[in-house]
Amino acid sequence: MANLKETLFAKIQEHRPRTTRLLKEHGDVKLGDVTIAQAIGGMRGVKCLVTDISYLDPYEGIRFRGMTIPETFAALPKPKGSDYPYVEAHWYLLLTGEVPTEEQTLQVVEEFKERAKVPQYVYDLLRAMPRDTHPMTMFSAAIVAMQRESIFAQKYREGMSKMDYWDPMYEDASNLIARLPVIAAYIYRMKYKGDTPIAPDPNLDFGGNFAHMMGIPHPYDDVARMYFILHSDHESGNVSAHTTHLVASALSDAYYSLAAGINGLAGPLHGLANQEVLRWTQNLMEKLGGKLPTKEQLEQALWDTLNSGQVIPGYGHAVLRKTDPRYAAQREFCLKHLPDYPLFKLVSMIYEVTPPILQKHGKAKNPWPNVDAHSGVVQWYYGVREYDFYTVLFGVGRALGVLANIVWDRALGYPIERPKSLTTDMLEEVAGIKK
Q: Which residues bind ligand HAX (CB under 6 A)?
A: 238, 269-271, 273, 306, 311-318, 363-366, 370-372
Report in angstroms how near the CB of residue 419 gets to ligand HAX at its nearest: 19
Report in angstroms how near the CB of residue 372 gets to ligand HAX at its nearest: 5
Q: Indicate if 172 belongs to the active site.
A: no
121 or 303: whose CB is closer to ligand HAX?
303
DSSP state of 294: P
Given a contact cutoff of 8 angstroms between Cβ atoms, the answer to whether 233 and 53 are in contact is yes
Given a contact cutoff of 8 angstroms between Cβ atoms, the answer to whether 239 and 267 are in contact is yes
Reference 94, options 328, 402, 425, 415; nearest CA is 402
Q: Indicate if 374 belongs to the active site.
A: no
**What is the distance between the alpha carbons of residues 73 and 67, in angstroms, rounded to a whole number?**
9
Give first-to-last CA distance, the chain, whole Å: 70
Report in angstroms how near the CB of residue 329 gets to ligand HAX at its nearest: 15
Given a contact cutoff of 8 angstroms between Cβ atoms, the answer to whether 353 and 244 are in contact is no
42 or 342: whose CB is closer to ligand HAX?
42
Q: Positive or negative CA dihedral for 350, 352, 357, 363?
A: positive
Q: Which of 231, 242, 245, 317 is catalytic?
A: 317
64 Ramachandran zone, left/alpha/beta (phi>0; psi -120 to 50): beta
Report in angstroms how near the CB of residue 93 gets to ligand HAX at its nearest: 21
Element (H, E) at 179: helix 166-192
Given a contact cutoff of 8 angstroms between Cβ atoms, the answer to whether 150 and 253 are in contact is yes
Chain centroid offset of residue 45 CA: 20
12 or 180: whose CB is closer to ligand HAX?
180
**What is the distance between the alpha carbons of residues 239 and 271, in angstroms, rounded to a whole number?**
9
81 or 362: whose CB is closer to ligand HAX?
362
Amino acid at residue number 335: L
Report in angstroms how near the CB of residue 36 gets to ligand HAX at its nearest: 16
Q: Which of 270, 324, 374, 409 is catalytic?
A: 270
Q: Which residue is nearest to ligand HAX (CB)?
A: 316
117 or 365: whose CB is closer to ligand HAX?
365
Report in angstroms how near the CB of residue 431 gets to ligand HAX at its nearest: 20
Q: Which of 167, 222, 372, 409 is catalytic?
A: 372
Q: Indicate if 372 belongs to the active site.
A: yes
Report in angstroms how near the CB of residue 363 gets to ligand HAX at its nearest: 3
107 or 370: whose CB is closer to ligand HAX?
370
**What is the distance between the alpha carbons of residues 197 and 352, in angstroms, rounded to a whole number?**
40
Element (H, E) at 62: strand 61-64
Reference 343, options 302, 375, 311; nearest CA is 375
174 or 366: whose CB is closer to ligand HAX?
366
* Residues labelled catalytic: 270, 317, 372
